[in-house]
Amino acid sequence: AKARGRGAYQLFEPEMEEEARSRHALEHNLRGALEAREFHLVFQPQVRLESSELTGFEALLRWKHPSRGFVSPAEFIPIAEENGLIVPIGEWVLRTACATAASWPDVTVAVNLSPVQFRARGLAAMVTSALAEAGLPPQRLELEVTETALLDDSEATIEILHQLRALGVRVSLDDFGVGYSSLSYLRKFPFDRIKIDRSFVGTLGESPESVAIVRTIASLGSVLGVETTAEGVETEEQLDFVRECGCTAVQGYYFGRPCPAAEVARTIETLNAV
């Protein structure tokens, strides 16, 4: 077994080296990406179910790598979180999102916050300054946090969430249901919105368990007075499902893919016309 293990290790090694090299190269490029203006934001519509009205957009980060083309945030954000670059990148995202949204009619912009940004100092001060600089009313900013932000230093993070809330911004709990302590965080902080992870929405058609889970989260939200957004709604069938489950809002390809800032106005017109 030992000999085989060693053989397997030797076979595996070049692949691991290759992976490490590619990650290293990506990290190197990431360091210069802000200055080289390789980032931009796209915006995905969020719709209230009861009135079918567009209520806002989630800002999503895009990186156009000079030679590799678009790199998925799922690939580069973990790297940026590991080396701390997510702090300046996240600040750029927030400032750009607020400045962009300031020219929109009365709809919100939702911005994702990394747990690493909570550990850096001065998050609330930075949000205050981004709002002021953009001239965006705090009620039009929503901040999305995942439970991983609350995991490692829950007390300190909750304190910062209260500071953010005191500014007048809204706070959402993102990717709800995939972590193991989502429920306990609902008790620790009064979130304005729960976003139900798209892994549940995507399996509503074939999994009675998913239906039960989405229904339970929606009624939990209703009892707590918290909005529940179903993420990843792609089809009319899924839309009917989440409506029937009692979700109050949706986001997903069915209503719109993330679009560049220049197309936001047209998206608002189109969606409000239906």
Residues at the interface with Ca ion (CB under 5 A): 112, 144, 174-175, 231
Distance CA 49, CA 151 (A): 31
Q: Which is nearer to ligand C2E, 89 or 218 (CB)?
A: 89
Residue 146 dihedral angles phi and psi, to the nearest 5°: -100, 165
Q: Which does 72 bind (CB under 5 to 8 A by kind): Ca ion, ligand C2E, none?
A: ligand C2E
Supply the minimum distance, in Å, between the C-beta of residue 111 and ligand C2E: 7
Q: Are 96 and 128 in contact (CB under 8 A)?
A: no
Q: Which does 61 bind (CB under 5 to 8 A by kind): Ca ion, ligand C2E, none?
A: ligand C2E
Ramachandran quadrant class, 94 (left: phi over 0; alpha: psi -120 to 50; beta: rest): alpha
232 is a site residue for ligand C2E (CB under 6 A)? yes
Distance CA 233, CA 6 (A): 47
Locate all alpha helices (DSSP H) within the chain, ordered by sequence. Answer: 2-33, 73-83, 86-101, 115-119, 123-134, 147-151, 154-167, 182-188, 198-201, 208-224, 236-245, 264-273
Candidates 45-53, 71-79, 129-137, 209-217; binding stretch for ligand C2E (CB under 6 A):
71-79
Q: Which is nearer to ligand C2E, 47 or 226 (CB)?
A: 47
Of 137, 138, 179, 258, the residue at the interface with ligand C2E (CB under 6 A) is 258
Q: Which is nearer to Ca ion, 112 or 117 (CB)?
A: 112
Q: Coil, strand, or helix at residue 87?
A: helix
Supply the minimum distance, in Å, between the C-beta of residue 229 and Ca ion: 9
Q: Are 39 and 70 in contact (CB under 8 A)?
A: no
Amino acid at 2: K
Give how many residues touch ligand C2E by CB under 6 A.
20
Binding mask 79-108 toward ligand C2E (x if CB under 6 A, else -) reads: -----------x--x---------------
Q: Which does 93 bind (CB under 5 to 8 A by kind): ligand C2E, Ca ion, none?
A: ligand C2E
114 is a site residue for ligand C2E (CB under 6 A)? yes
